Amino acid sequence: MNPHFDFPRNKDGFPERPDGAPNTAFLGRGANEHHQTIDSTNLRAKELARSGAPEGTLVTAEAQTSGRGRLGRAWHSPPGRNLYFSLVLRPNISPERLPILTLAAGLGVAEALRDITGLGLEIKWPNDILINKMKVVGILSEMEMLGAGVSFVVLGIGINVNLEQGDLPEELAPLAASLLIASGRPWDRVEILAGVLSGVEHNYLEIIQGRPQGVLARYRRACATIGSKVRLADGVQILEGLAVDIDENGALVVELSGDGSLLTVSAGEVTLVKE
Ligand code: BTN
């Protein structure tokens, strides 16, 4: 895999875009890093961000030894098959807007994967991307503040690209899949990465430029959680209800079973209940 997008210059000094390079203005176009093995691309991107790395800096890895997932989980990161990468973002938004930014990025990933592969993808709120109900993409966004504002956001994305069924550990086999497993053919990881960076950048710009309506409308259409019965665990109690909407901050709106009151959920674990 050659994920380096520092393009060669032609005789006039203009960058030449090789096949498979991202069609982006700033994501993945700076001083990127690629590692054969790293603990976690998110940890490395946070280090770079703390030492001043510019917006769009990309850290990729062939394998992670401590790949990190949401809610303190691990992310299965074997070598050579998948994509593991993190982006440094410096959005000029208030911290409360982070959830909608993360939703926009997840939608950008799903839209790019759909356009490249033609596969039917769904999003499980907030950011799991599923094919045939099996998880193929996970996103972990981490924010650091400077005073009352956002210093940086690291957006970490793991995509199961060419993982084979036999590569999945027993506990993930009933839950996870890959583009290869879903389509029956392998995919070029650099092409997937380039397309995904374009998709993420497109939606990111809509949010930071104050135009979230299109992203929200497309997210609601792609979101398998809306209209589903869900179970919520907030660490204290378990509640059930019907997911009815995503609000303008990216939170899930649930009509609770029993009294029918509306609950707005902005974090935590949401399970789709099979009926
Ligand atoms: C989830 O739990 O669904 C989020 C998984 C995020 C995994 C990616 S892989 C690249 C980046 N580095 C990490 O350690 N985690 C994210």
At residue 186, the pLDDT reads 96
For residue 223, the tally of other CB atoms under 10 A from its CB is 23
84-98, 172-186, 257-271 — which is least confidently predicted?
257-271
| Ligand 1, atom 7, residue with closest C-alpha | 158
At residue 15, the pLDDT reads 44
pLDDT for 275 beyond 70? no
pLDDT: is 218 or 272 the higher one? 218
Listing DSSP states for 171-225 in one string gives: TTTTTB--HHHHHSS---HHHHHHHHHHHHHHHHHHHHTT--HHHHHHHHHHBTT
Could you give phi then psi for residue 175, rounded to 5 degrees?
-115, -30
pLDDT for 4 beyond 70? no
Query: Distance between CA 165 and CA 31 in Å, rounded?
Result: 35
Ligand 1 touching residue 84 (CB < 6 A) = yes
Write the pLDDT tens digit of every residue in 155-176. Answer: 999 999 999 999 999 999 999 9
Percent of the chain with pLDDT over 90: 77
| Ligand 1, atom 16, residue with closest C-alpha | 156
At residue 268, the pLDDT reads 77
Helix (H) or strand (E) holding 45: helix 41-50
At residue 255, the pLDDT reads 96
Q: How confident is the model at residue 269 (pLDDT cuts 50, 70, 90)?
A: confident
What is the torsional sign of CA 59, 61, 67, 71?
positive
Q: Residue 35 forms beta bridges with which residues?
A: 61
Q: Is the pTM of this model over 0.85?
A: yes
pLDDT for 11 beyond 70? no
Question: Counting atoms of ligand 1 from 1, which one is nearest the CA of 40?
Answer: 14
In the reported structure, the alpha carbon of residue 73 is separated from the centroid of ligand 1 by a whole-number distance in angstroms of: 9
SS3 13: coil
pLDDT for 192 beyond 60? yes
Task: With beta carbons less than 8 A apart as the criterion, state whether 231 and 271 touch.
Answer: yes
In the reported structure, the alpha carbon of residue 66 is separated from the centroid of ligand 1 by a whole-number distance in angstroms of: 10
At residue 58, the pLDDT reads 94
At residue 7, the pLDDT reads 44
CA angle 80, 125, 64 (to 5 degrees): 20
> Strand 238-246 to strand 262-265: parallel, antiparallel, or no bridges (unpaired)?
unpaired
pLDDT: is 82 or 4 the higher one? 82
At residue 22, the pLDDT reads 67
Ligand 1 touching residue 189 (CB < 6 A) = no
pLDDT for 211 beyond 80? yes
27-36, 141-150, 171-180, 189-198 — which is least confidently predicted?
27-36
At residue 119, the pLDDT reads 97
Ligand 1 touching residue 73 (CB < 6 A) = yes
For residue 32, CA distances in Å to 23, 29, 44, 46 come to 16, 7, 11, 13
| Ligand 1, atom 10, residue with closest C-alpha | 84
Query: Distance between CA 106 and CA 127 in Å, rounded?
Result: 6
In the reported structure, the alpha carbon of residue 46 is separated from the centroid of ligand 1 by a whole-number distance in angstroms of: 13
> Strand 238-246 to strand 252-256: parallel, antiparallel, or no bridges (unpaired)?
antiparallel
Question: Counting atoms of ligand 1 from 1, which one is nearest the CA of 127?
Answer: 3
For residue 202, the tally of other CB atoms under 10 A from its CB is 19
Mean predicted lDDT score pLDDT of the chain: 90
First to last CA, the chain: 43
